[in-house]
Structure 1
Amino acid sequence: MNYSFDFQSVTRNFGPLLDGLVVTLQLTAAANLIGLTLGFVVALMVMSRWAVVRWPATMFVEFFRCTPALVQIVWFFYCVPMLFNVFLGSVTMGILALGMNLTAFNAEAYRASIQAVPREQIDAGIALGLNPLQRILYIVLPNAFRASVPVLLTNGIGIFQQSALVAIVAVQDLMYQGKTLATQTYRPIETFTIVALIYFAVSFPVGQLVGYLERRRAGLAG
């Protein structure tokens, strides 16, 4: 192979990649905010005794878990304006698509954790006179959140990586800026290598944190 690597052609134009990383982090933060809050609500709906509440929530979870994230992003970007006459910016559409996807996966994490909450704690809340909403807020939610933190972090970093898909609808995230820079410099190998390293640099510490939390939880359980 006679290819001559030239990473300086990329590092000299590093500014756009940093701008793209900022957009990617904004997408990730907003999607996680949606996923962490709505995920718990959807989990409660999935576990509802009323079918009229349970079935729509279950279908929501299954739809977003069983269809590709790329299809969801494209659907939000092109179909929502046509069907509902709602015109939002591409970044907002990307946040909604990623947030709904993450909500579905977090709902399953919350559901498993809610089912693991000891019945004795709920009975204690009843004995103390807490109403159902108070029991959810002060007993179920804290316990379920602590138990599901490793999975929620894993899902969160997964959505950070999947956010690269929004480049297909012209959101100027890290992947979009990488594609643009690769075209301008004619250095796709160097450009996408650096883009991959940036994704790795953000994802790896979170992955290590997840591993630490899981080991710590296993140690406490033991």
Structure 2
Amino acid sequence: MEAELAAHGSADLSLFALFWAADWVVKAVMLGLLAASIWTWAIIIEKSVMYGRAQRAMNKFEKNFWSGQSLEDLYQRLSDEDPRGMGAVFVAAMKEWKRSHEQGASSYIGVQQRLDKVLDITIGRESDVLESRLGFLATVGSAAPFVGLFGTVWGIMNSFQSIAASKSTNLAVVAPGIAEALFATAIGLLAAIPAVIAYNKLSSDANKLIGRLEGFADEFSSILTRQLESREQQ
């Protein structure tokens, strides 16, 4: 008996050993959570870079837009590119405004309604790009602890079965199984905590960028509306 306890006491409890010794269900849980954690960090890095780039692009566009240069020149330059953010909103609105005048639209209200519709659609499209994959972070943040808990419960059930089979309640007999089970919960938290923090931060950043798009759309719509009013009065 002493030899058996010594063997259990000297069991390898390293993380790698715990994974390989775990039940196949617990292994599946661990692998799934590890994959979710890796994908979570990939999204965090990708979104952080994207939002930083979008912020700089908006600052640059606003500087050019309010610099006093011709809107026609700015439109021609951006039309040759694939603009995102404010550039996309500006190009879409200018395109609709020019199309309405080329077709000789006579209704001021009709042109304004079409402009508002185009702006809403473009902002919605840009918002979808900014907010894409954030839902995955929310899902991981809310579900990962419970998935890890499932792995823990399953592992502890196996440990109790081991107790019954060995007819021994010595902690050295069941410690490896319990350690394997708790390892699943640890991985679940490892995936969930960064996902929750990143989701809150990135959602806030996305909302700020979308708010800037909506603010610019309102300002530009007012500029075009004043031009339409002045043309009608002439």
What is the TM-score when the length of structure 2 is the normalising length?
0.29
TM-score normalized by structure 1? 0.30
